[in-house]
Amino acid sequence: MPEHTLEISGSSVVLVGSFNPAIFHPEWFARNGLLPQGEVDSAELQVIHPQLSQFETERFAFQITSDRFTGITKPNTIADPLKDLILGTFYILEHTPIQAMGLNRILHFAMGSVEAWHRLGDKLAPKEPWQEILEGRPGMRNLDILTSNESPKGSSLLVRIQPSLLIQPGVYFEINAHYPAPERAGLKSMMDLLKNQWETTNKKGEEIARHILDWAASEG
């Protein structure tokens, strides 16, 4: 039995800036050729409101507030069309002020056994010091590791590890590549990064998760 298997994955793009949620109706995407009409016709509108827009299509889900735009793929949908959709949207809305962008990869791994699951948690956050002072059965619930990147300036990477809610025994990884936008030409800069970094970031996210899982599975 393999020590771990990737069962569910997804990607998201989060933009921090200034948005008008009322624009983001599924029909707008169809009118601008960014989504097929068929997908728009079957979209599920949850909220369309001046302060919030939220809807789902067959492949994606979106949530837009006045200062945050989030697009996320449905589980196990291929991620590249989301990148195209974001690029296309902000090519049309070329004057949108953007302050930062996050490219996120979400991964749920099934662990081969409960023992393997515990082994990961024990290695990342040894129970020993906690058992000495806490009652019950203390266990790792969340681990965030943050590092800064050399380029572009101010960018960073956050890796979040938690027990998976969807798969038991399983592990959830969320890898956030964060990019602050420059003051001038912020949107253009972020869209260039999205175009050029999307594939690398997605692959890197999976690489990081597998590295940690392999390390946990190894002796020592």
Partner 1 sequence: MPDTSLTGQPLKADTFASFLPNSNVGKLAISPELSGGARQTFSQTTVDQEQPDNQQQFLSFVTRPIPKPPNPKPAPTLRPLQLWEGTIIECQNGSFVALVNDRTDPLNPDELVTFESVEVSKEDMKLIQPGASFYWTVGVERSPAGQIRNVEMLNFRRLPGWNASSVREAEQEAREIADLFASE
Partner 2 sequence: MTVGNPPKYDELEISVFGPGRGECILVHMGYNEWCMIDSCVGTGKALPAAVEYLTELGGASLEGVLLVLATHWHDDHIRGIAESLHSFPNARFACSSALKNQEFLTLVQLQTKSLQGDSGVDEFGKIVKILKERKRLNVNQNNAAPVFAIQDRLLLQRNEIGRLFPATITALSPSDVAVTLALSKIACFIPKPNQLQRRITNRPPNEASVVLFVEVGCRTALFGADLEHSGRAEEGWLAILDLAQTRPQPAQVYKVPHHGSPSADCIGVWQRLLEPEPIAILTPFTSGKGLPQQQDIDRLKSRTPHLYCTSERQVRLPKRHDKVVEKKLKDRTRIAIDGNLGHVRLRWSATDAISTPQIEMFNGAFKA
Nearer to partner 1, 99 or 124 (CB): 99
Are 143 and 125 in contact by the 8 Å Cβ rule? The answer is: yes
Q: Which does 195 bind (CB under 5 to 8 A by kind): partner 2, partner 1, none?
A: partner 2
- Find the length of the chain: 220
* CB of 218 vs partner 1, minimal distance in Å: 25
Nearer to partner 1, 40 or 116 (CB): 40
Using CB atoms within 10 A of its CB, is residue 212 exposed (0-12), middle (13-18) or buried (19+)?
Answer: buried
Q: Which does 23 bind (CB under 5 to 8 A by kind): partner 2, partner 1, none?
A: none
Nearer to partner 2, 101 or 106 (CB): 101
Q: Which does 106 bind (CB under 5 to 8 A by kind): partner 2, partner 1, none?
A: partner 1
* CB of 91 vs partner 2, minimal distance in Å: 6
Nearer to partner 2, 138 or 182 (CB): 182
Nearer to partner 1, 15 or 212 (CB): 15
Are 87 and 194 in contact by the 8 Å Cβ rule? The answer is: yes
3-class secondary-structure state, position 139 = coil
* CB of 87 vs partner 2, minimal distance in Å: 5
Strand intervals (E) in 85-213: 98-111, 143-148, 156-163, 170-180
What is the distance between the alpha carbons of residues 63 and 93, in angstroms, rounded to a whole number? 17
Using CB atoms within 10 A of its CB, is residue 83 exposed (0-12), middle (13-18) or buried (19+)?
Answer: buried
In what order do the strands lie in the sheet containing 143-148? Answer: 44-49, 52-56, 60-65, 68-73, 4-17, 98-111, 170-180, 156-163, 143-148
Binding region for partner 2 (CB under 8 A)? 33, 84, 87-88, 91, 195-196
Binding region for partner 1 (CB under 8 A)? 8, 10, 12, 14-16, 32-38, 42, 44, 46-47, 49, 51-52, 54, 58, 61, 63, 65, 68, 70, 72, 74-78, 80-81, 84-85, 87-88, 91-92, 94, 99-102, 104, 106, 108, 141-142, 144, 146, 154, 156, 158, 160, 162-166, 172, 174, 176, 178-180, 199
What is the distance between the alpha carbons of residues 63 and 83, in angstroms, rounded to a whole number? 16
Nearer to partner 1, 116 or 173 (CB): 173
The residue among 115, 125, 66, 100 whose CA lies nearest residue 180 is 100
* CB of 92 vs partner 2, minimal distance in Å: 11
